[in-house]
A and B are shown apart, each in its own frame.
Chain A
Amino acid sequence: MLTTISPMHFVVLSAALFAIGLFGAITKKNAITVLICIELMLSAVNINLVAFNMFVTPEAFIGQIFAIFVITVAAAEIGVGLAIMLTIYRNKLSVDLDDFDWMKW
């Protein structure tokens, strides 16, 4: 039954997703995995935005429009990230974050 789902269900779901993404982004060693974890965090944001749109401001599409902006900009950001990883892979033949130690981390 849809009516039994409250905004809190969505908040808990998105908080869990955000926490998983943040944990992965901090602990994973492979740069591509880290980017995937960042995508999880942004998905958590989108769940929040769309759910709040439904429950808080059902008469206006504020949250949904915001979510579309987030999706678009996140794609651009991840695109730049992958391009940089391509460059660094050509230099070092690795995308393992532990190998990036030219500077003190």
Chain B
Amino acid sequence: MPFDISLLTVEIILAALGLAILVMGLIIPSNTKRGLGPITVIGLIAALASAIATWNVQGSLFEGMFLVDQYATFFKITCLSAAVLVTFGCMKYVDQMKAQGEYYSILVFSVLGMSVMASAGDFITLFIGLELMTIAFIILVALNKRSAKSAEAGIKYVILASISSAALLYGLSLVYGMSGTIMIYDVARMVVGGSVSPLFVFGLVLLVAGLGFKISTVPFHMWSPDVYEGAPTPVTAFLAVGSKAASFAILLRLFMGGFIGVAETWVLLVAILAAMSMVIGNLLAIPQTNIKRMLAYSSIAQAGYILVGLVAATEAGVKGVMFYSFLYVFATMGAFVVVTAVYDKVKSDEIADYAGLAQRAPLLAVVLTISMLSMAGIPPLAGFAGKLYLFKAIIADYFWLALLGLIMSMISVYYYLRVCLVMYRDEPIDNTPIKTSGNVTVVLVVAMIATIILGIYPGPLSEVTNTAASTFFLH
């Protein structure tokens, strides 16, 4: 089989970009380092454009270890969009941290890890992509050396991430031992229709635990509120979106691609995790006073909603996961860019300090409101369409889970609207308007328009996710 290097275009662009920024960050004088942000944005947009341009390209490299299909390309586009938005929207915050070279290059490497994960066809590629992303995120979380909270978040993240990686690897080693192969789709052929040994099932449980940590489902969620609060806000935003989307890509590839033949052994476990995440994430979000912690608990709940697509274990479920991951990018990025912009001015993440934001910065208040209502699933915003596709996939077999999701969505409206109430009803302590720079405004408007349009007119994205989900089962 000829080696077609063009299948690796996105990864090559990202690797070259990351190395170039790392070198530039070392050699250029520190007063010109502000220019690294725009360079990163241009490079990421080039990678995004090449991912979109190669949408129809399909193939595999290294005898199936690296798969390029529309499913993988879709998740690459999702992660790259998130990276572009977070880089473009949070440049000022990064400049204040004074570590531009390190921040931008490591951010690009984490995107590279995500894109390798999306394309992984075997356990080694999966593991390398996952660790590239995780190690990059560990560094990013602890990057703000002057902040004690950032270092503490870093140490908590590195310990728990390593434990989860070890559990994941132990699971992979058991699956390899019981099936005799590390290729995901070969495992599917080995286990099809047959009964499997208890060790194999134990391996699956460890895999759920290891990946459950990455997507922060209950009971593997303990790290996320602390890490989300302590990490620099742009990193939190990207951790909430990119890392989650890529981990869902790999979770689906493993369980729906590899272990679908033994679905009855893991579906109930995943359903219970999804239910627990929805309940605990939403209930613990209510008493939070720090907006980053509140968004962390809300993202635990969102992980629960997305897991519903895996419970369905059908093409409709895959489609629901892809659709929700994509719209989740815009809602979350909108919310976190607002948090960053407010922090730049107010130097606080407490919800009480958002009082009167509607008078001080109407655009920020509107975008935060729309993003949160989308996360809560209020029609006609994108979150409603996403939840509709997800819960439609399971309504026949798991009615209790769909009902629970509905109830928990209603509860989530309470704490989202509490923030809106503070922004619109309370009088501001300080009346000076918060000015947003041009690029922040662009990101906020893009996030807002995408959230509204995907909700009113979900047809085109739905078609795209349908095609991509259908390529998922072709291998």
Contact = CB atoms under 8 A, between A and B. Distances in A.
A and B interact: yes
B142 A87 contact: yes
B-side interface mostly: helix
Contact of A42 (B152, B166, B174): B166
B300 to A, nearest CB: 15
A22 B163 contact: yes
A48 B159 contact: no
B295 interface: no
Contact of A35 (B152, B162, B169, B177): B162
Interface string B141-166: 01001001101111110110111011
Nearest to A49: B173
Contacts of A42: 166, 169
Contacts of A85: 155
Contact of A100 (B156, B173, B199): B156
A102 to B, nearest CB: 5
B158 A100 contact: no
Contacts of B182: 62, 66
Nearest to B151: A88
Contacts of B169: 42, 45, 70
Contacts of A25: 159, 163
Contacts of B225: 103-104
Interface stretch (B78-86, B90-98, B127-135, B235-243): B127-135
B424 interface: no
B230 A56 contact: no
Given A11-B199, A31-B155, A84-B151, A41 B163 contact: yes
Nearest to B229: A103
A101 B244 CA distance: 26
A8 B177 CA distance: 11
Given A66-B123, A70-B127, A103 B155 contact: no
A94 to B, nearest CB: 11
A85 to B, nearest CB: 6
A78 B230 CA distance: 21
B226 A66 contact: no
A77 B127 contact: no
Contacts of A52: 173, 176-177
Given A31-B159, A69-B128, A49 B152 contact: no
Given A45-B169, A48-B173, A81 B162 contact: yes
B433 interface: no
A63 B158 CA distance: 26
B201 to A, nearest CB: 14
Contact of B176 (A26, A34, A41, A49): A49
B321 interface: no
B173 A84 contact: no
Contacts of A80: 135, 138-139, 158
A84 B155 contact: yes
B155 A44 contact: no
Contacts of B162: 35, 38, 77-78, 81
Contacts of B123: 66
B124 interface: yes
Contacts of A18: 166, 170
A13 interface: no
A76 B167 CA distance: 17
B180 interface: yes
A18 B427 CA distance: 56
Given A48-B173, A56-B180, A88-B155, A69 B124 contact: yes
Contacts of B226: 103-105
A45 to B, nearest CB: 4
Residue among A34, A63, A81 facing the most chain B CB atoms (10 A cut-off): A81
A21 B163 CA distance: 9
B127 A84 contact: no
Contacts of B142: 84, 87
A39 B253 CA distance: 28
A77 B352 CA distance: 38
Interface string A43-76: 0110011011001110000110110011001001
Contacts of B127: 66, 69-70, 73
Contacts of B149: 102-103
A48 B229 contact: no
A91 B148 contact: yes
Contacts of B161: 77
Given A87-B145, A102-B148, A77 B177 contact: no
B168 to A, nearest CB: 9
A69 to B, nearest CB: 6
22 contacts: A22-B167, A41-B166, A41-B170, A44-B170, A45-B173, A49-B173, A52-B173, A62-B182, A63-B173, A66-B127, A77-B162, A77-B165, A78-B162, A81-B162, A84-B151, A84-B158, A87-B142, A87-B145, A87-B151, A91-B148, A102-B149, A103-B152
Given A11-B199, A103-B229, 8 more contacts: A55-B177, A57-B180, A66-B173, A66-B182, A84-B154, A102-B148, A102-B230, A104-B226
